[in-house]
């Protein structure tokens, strides 16, 4: 056991030095040694390694700065490499390029491919990634990693979609990370889309410095992600957060919810469209139904009131189990929040107590949240020394 201690300490020191340079920028070796509390000889060895890896670079000299004598300045090279991030949605696919600081450099969006087989889907998907790389002149050696946020139950560690979304073709038991990696010859990181969005909120959004939170995605489908005491919760078999299958009455136990969960039927865009069609015979999108509700359509308004009641019950159950600091809503249906969110908050205020009271908030990052989150996860895989949120356990 003791033989591993020097190597472990060396990795910890290397990570410490890299993150001091990344966070402060333009520091000399002497300044880094003073901040880190590590000997100058050790700093010199670590800096040589990081320079060889081209993740930092030298840039001129600086006179006395108060932190030490003048020396050659060191900087983190956030643009040494780039990654591609993708958020697979039921109606839209978002693509991004990100640098080594998990900053989004470019984003694009396309309609989700209307094909019937996984093979057709992946062919179009891989071509879209190639097109993105070509458009921004990203060479093969510059591309370091690809991150994919996808609906469904995902094995994050093995890169497998275990149970997928009905909105994507044949989207289950697919080693998606390996399939895409074989095409682009870089590591591919796979995660559930809502979980990715929660990590994005932790990195750039409303969950920064928060240790317990729930993110609920109300879009084409319905899902949630949980942060509890600083740890992202995946569950024993990666199924944590599949709230679309929550039930709310004894009658629900005797119905078949295999194709679409009970909660999702009552609280998602696709569920709203399905119920509106069952009651009116008209096949309308959730967006059109929202417009009708704003115009006073009785059926449309009743569906949004129904959504508010079910969403409030689901949130109250999450509060009872997890007692989060924050509850954030995201997804396409949330754009229609003036129709229902005040009802949701009223129910929550009525049924919570001093230690569980909470204000339900809307994401400000929106579609960028999963792109930020998958960027952080992807970079954690290929550059584990970079610490984006040192107090959070993401994997």
Condensed to tens digits (0 to 9), the pLDDT of residues 253-300 reads 999 998 899 999 999 999 999 999 999 999 999 999 999 999 999 999
> Of all residues in the chain, what percent carry a pLDDT higher than 70?
96
Tokens of 335: 């754009």
Residues 15 and 48 in one domain: yes
Q: Which of 43, 76, 109 is the last residue of a domain?
A: 76
- Residue 167: the pLDDT is 76
Interval 129-139 mean pLDDT: 97
Local confidence band at 1 (pLDDT 50, 70, 90 cut-offs): very low
Read off the pLDDT of residues 35-73 as tens digits, 9 standing for 90 and up: 999 999 999 999 999 999 999 999 877 765 555 556 899
pLDDT single digits (tens) 166-222 = 778 999 999 999 999 999 999 999 999 999 999 999 999 999 999 999 999 999 899
CATH number for 191? 3.30.420.40
Q: Write phi, then psi, for 253 (nearest 5 degrees).
A: -65, -25
- % of the chain surpassing 90 pLDDT: 88
- Angle subtended at Cα 271 by Cα 266 and Cα 277, rounded to the nearest 5 degrees: 115
| 394 lies in some domain | no
Parallel, antiparallel or unpaired: strands 143-150 and 82-88 = parallel
> What pLDDT was estimated at residue 10?
84
Residue 44 maps to a domain:
yes
Q: Are residues 124 and 86 in the same domain?
A: yes
Average pLDDT of the chain to the nearest whole number: 93
- What angle (nearest 5°) sits at the alpha carbon of residue 328, between those of residues 233 and 207? 70
CATH of the domain at 61: 1.10.10.10
Residue 390 lies in a domain: no
pLDDT score for 258: 87
Per-residue pLDDT tens digits for 293-320: 999 999 999 999 999 999 999 999 999 9
The answer to whether the beta carbons of residues 112 and 89 sit under 8 Å apart is yes
Q: Which pLDDT value is given to residue 66?
A: 53
| Torsion sign (Cα): 281, 286, 288, 290 | positive
pLDDT of residue 124: 97
* pLDDT computed for residue 91 by the predictor: 85
Mark whether 174 and 218 lie in a shared domain. Answer: no
Q: pTM above the 0.85 mark?
A: yes
Q: Band the pLDDT of 3: cuts 50, 70, 90.
A: very low
So what's the pLDDT on residue 382?
Answer: 94
Helix (H, G, I), strand (E, B) or coil at 171: coil
Mean pLDDT of 80-109: 96
Does residue 389 form part of some domain? no
**Residue 251: which domain range?**
207-363
266 in a structural domain = yes
Q: Please indicate, yes or no, whether residues 319 and 219 belong to a single structural domain of this protein.
A: yes
Question: According to the model, what pLDDT value does residue 166 have?
Answer: 75
Residue 393 has, within 13 A of its CA and on its CB side, a CA count of 9
Whether residue 240 lies inside any domain: the answer is yes
Same-domain check for residues 356 and 374: no
Q: Are 189 and 383 in contact (CB under 8 A)?
A: no
88 bridge partner residues: 93
No. of helices (H) and no. of strands (E), the chain: 12, 14
Q: Are residues 141 and 169 part of one domain?
A: yes
Average pLDDT over residues 108-115: 95
Report the 3 state secondary structure along 210-236.
Answer: CCCEEEEEECCCEEEEEEECCEEECCC
| pLDDT at position 63 | 60
> 395 in a domain, yes or no?
no
Domain identity same for 280 and 307: yes
**Statement to judge: residues 224 and 154 lie in one domain:** no
358 and 373 in one domain? no
Q: Indicate the number of domains in the chain.
A: 3
pLDDT value of residue 69: 54
233 within 8 A of 227, measured Cβ to Cβ: yes
221 plus 345 within the same structural domain: yes
Domain presence at residue 387: no
Please identify, among 41, 76, 111, the residue that sits at the C-terminal boundary of a domain.
76
Distance, in Å, from the CA atom of 134 to the CA atom of 210, rounded to the nearest integer, reads: 38
Check whether residue 227 and residue 150 sit in a common domain: no
Q: Please, is 298 exposed, middle or buried when counting C-beta atoms within 10 Å of its C-beta (0-12, 13-18, 19+)?
A: exposed
The gap between the terminal CA atoms of the chain, to the nearest Å, is 24
Q: Report residue 77 as tokens.
A: 């090279």
Q: Are residues 350 and 377 in the same domain?
A: no
């Amino acid at each position: 056991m003791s033989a591993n201690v020097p190597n472990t300490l060396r990795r910890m020191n290397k990570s410490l030095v890299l993150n001091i340079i990344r966070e402060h920028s333009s520091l000399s070796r002497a300044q880094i040694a003073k901040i880190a509390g590590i000997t100058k000889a050790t700093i010199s060895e670590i800096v040589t390694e990081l320079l060889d890896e081209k993740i930092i670079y030298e840039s001129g000299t600086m006179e006395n700065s108060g932190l030490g004598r003048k020396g050659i300045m060191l900087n983190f090279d956030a643009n040494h490499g780039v990654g591609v991030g993708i958020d697979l949605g039921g109606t839209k696919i978002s693509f991004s390029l990100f640098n080594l600081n998990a900053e989004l450099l470019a984003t694009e969006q396309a309609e989700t491919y209307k094909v019937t087989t996984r093979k057709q889907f992946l062919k179009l998907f891989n071509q879209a990634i190639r097109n993105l790389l070509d458009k921004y002149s990203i060479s093969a050696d510059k591309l370091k990693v690809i991150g994919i946020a996808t609906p469904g139950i995902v094995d994050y560690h093995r890169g497998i979609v275990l149970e997928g979304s009905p909105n994507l073709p044949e989207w289950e038991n697919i080693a998606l990370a390996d399939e895409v990696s074989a095409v682009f010859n870089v590591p591919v990181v796979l995660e559930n889309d809502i979980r990715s969005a929660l990590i994005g909120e932790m990195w750039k959004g409303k969950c920064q410095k928060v240790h317990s939170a729930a993110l609920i995605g109300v879009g084409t489908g319905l899902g949630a992600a949980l942060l509890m005491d600083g740890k992202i919760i995946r569950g024993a078999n990666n199924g944590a957060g599949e709230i679309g299958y929550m039930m709310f009455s004894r009658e629900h136990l005797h119905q078949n919810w295999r194709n679409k969960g009970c909660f999702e039927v009552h609280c998602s865009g696709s569920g709203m469209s399905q119920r509106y069609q069952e009651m009116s015979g008209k096949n309308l999108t959730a967006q059109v139904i929202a417009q009708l509700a704003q115009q006073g359509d009785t059926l449309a308004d009743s569906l949004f009131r129904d959504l508010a009641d079910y969403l409030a019950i689901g949130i109250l159950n999450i509060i009872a189990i997890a007692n989060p600091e924050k509850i954030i809503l995201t997804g396409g249906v949330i754009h229609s929040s003036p129709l229902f969110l005040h009802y949701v908050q009223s129910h929550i205020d009525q049924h919570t107590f001093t230690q569980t009271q909470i204000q339900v908030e809307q994401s400000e990052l929106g579609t960028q949240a999963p792109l930020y989150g998958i960027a952080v996860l992807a970079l954690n895989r290929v550059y584990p020394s970079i610490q984006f949120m040192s107090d959070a356990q993401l994997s």
